[in-house]
Structure 1
Amino acid sequence: MITILFDDGDALVGDAAANMLQFAGTKYCVIGLNDLDEYYRSWQKVIACNAQRIFPAHGNPFSVEKLRENIGKNKKQNIVMMHL
């Protein structure tokens, strides 16, 4: 996944994170993935680059702390696993 990181810490992450459907247990993930572990590795890269504010393709911006807090917390039954 591609992320654009600006000098001020804002990160445009596209589908690498989402801020929607929290009530469904998605915890900042999009609902359709083919590899949850790879998805979390992309979060780790965004965190390691000192991103501060996440701008997802779906939903409102949020603090990078939400990614830190939720790595590993999504359950596969809350995600549509896509085999491409």
Structure 2
Amino acid sequence: MKFLLASYALILSLGVISLISGNHYFANIGGFLSAIGFMLVFFKDRPDDESEQQIKMRRYWYIVFATGILFSLIFGSFWNTHMGNMEAR
């Protein structure tokens, strides 16, 4: 549970730092970490007889990584005017 909370705090802090500093790279790093985490949790081999605790923790991991991808979209991609070398005119 501590690792889950630390990951959530890291992703949220990257999003907030991106919001405060105006630098979209921090949010993109958080989104990248979340995408990797999503793949690790989703494609992990699960036993046939999972306990309720394991199912609940997997759901919590999905929520953490979905928050990171959402922050990456909001604070990273939508504010990034330099993507594809397109300047705002």
- Report TM bin, short chain: 0.3 to 0.5
What TM-score does the superposition give when structure 1 sets the normalisation length?
0.36
Which is higher, the Rg of structure 1 or of structure 2?
2
What TM-score does the superposition give when structure 2 sets the normalisation length?
0.35
Structure 1 or 2: larger strand share? 1
